[in-house]
Amino acid sequence: MNLQLDDQGRLRHFLDIAGLPRDVLINIMDTAEKFSGVTEQAVKKVPLLRGKTIVNVFFENSTRTRTTFELAAKRLSADVLNLNISTSSASKGETLLDTLANLQAMHSDMFVVRHEDSGTAEFIARHVPPHVAVINAGDGRHAHPTQAMLDMFTIRRHKGSDFGRLRVAIVGDIMHSRVARSQIHALNTLLTGEVRVIAPRTLLPGNVREALGVHVFHRPEEGLRDVDVIIMLRLQKERMSGALLPSEHEYFQYWGLTQERLALAAPDAIVMHPGPINRGVEIDSVVADGDQSVILEQVTHGIAVRMAVMAMSMRSSGTEGAA
């Protein structure tokens, strides 16, 4: 049984793209499309989750992810609690399950979890009562499913719903990126025509071609040719052990996205980045701020996509306010 789905195949928790059917991903994007208009209203709220309590449990620092989850919850009219782990009892030795039990005792309805250890969100999902939903906001190197879905939504907004005609390139630190893993699963589930990964050998998992079904390139001059979408990744220096690269300057020289390299892609290619951007390391400022960049749009779309995931998960959990 899929922990993420209820017995009717609806979203119960949102922990990982892997294992979810294509129709669920399409439903998330369709629902996000309906919510995207909320931001244009004078009153940017809908009463869907009024009276429900959503707790952001972030064991890792975050700006975009936490604030967009908070905005999404508030625009659904939920009450939001942001748990500061650095000042919580967890920093004093309290176990994860004890922290969870205390939050559940406050009659919480949803946990949005970000943690440095892979599998934490799933662990929590297996220990919550049936009416509580869990959303993974990033766990270790494992997954970042809402980031992947806001990326898919951004691509669909610019390129249409037929992913089968697209060539998508993901460039950079594939080995340490939970975003890349979730993006690849999403692109493959949506039947994308070709998914390419472009990276130095030291930043690629050894079995990436076989395990994730992608085409591997070691030089951007080859991998970027004629692609429709370029997704740049940040160097995950905090997750690296040992010297995998000579220097950031050299990385930009050989792997950074410049105007010259962008010109190798299709003329109407879009440039994406999950953030935070390291200008002059993985991407040139001219490209990041250029006409083909949709990086800030990704942030905007993140609110609608996270609203969709929250609404769908709460509906499946059977709470009254999500009818």
DSSP class per residue in 202-233? GGS-TTHHHHH--EEES-HHHHTTT-SEEEE-
The total of other beta-carbon atoms located within 10 Å of residue 11's CB is 25
Give the relative orientation of helices 178-189 and 145-159 as an angle to the nearest 10 degrees: 50
| Residue 268: per-residue pLDDT | 98
| Residue 89: per-residue pLDDT | 55
Q: How far apart are CA 166 and CA 169, in angstroms?
A: 10
Kindly report the backbone phi and psi dihedral angles of residue 93, in degrees, each rounded to the nearest multiple of 5, phi listed first.
110, 0
| Residue 92: per-residue pLDDT | 59
| Residue 242: per-residue pLDDT | 44
Helix %, strand %, coil % of the chain (to 5): 45, 15, 40
pLDDT at 88 over 80: no
pLDDT at 254 over 60: yes
Any residues with CB less than 8 A from the CB of 302 and at least 6 apart, and which? 64, 65, 68, 72, 146, 147, 150
pLDDT at 322 over 60: no
- Give the position of tokens 């089968």: 164
Question: Is the Cα dihedral 196, 202, 203, 209 positive or negative?
Answer: positive
Q: Could you tell me the domains of the chain?
A: 22-142+300-322 (3.40.50.1370), 145-295 (3.40.50.1370)
DSSP code for 41: S
Any residues with CB less than 8 A from the CB of 168 and at least 6 apart, and which? 155, 187, 192, 194, 195, 196, 227, 228, 229, 231
Q: How confident is residue 59, by pLDDT bands cut at 50, 70 and 90?
A: confident
| Residue 62: per-residue pLDDT | 82
pLDDT at 57 over 70: yes
Q: How far apart are CA 44 and CA 74, in angstroms?
A: 9
pLDDT at 103 over 70: yes
What is the per-residue pLDDT across 4-30, written as a single tens digit (0 to 9) for each? Answer: 999 999 999 999 999 999 999 999 999
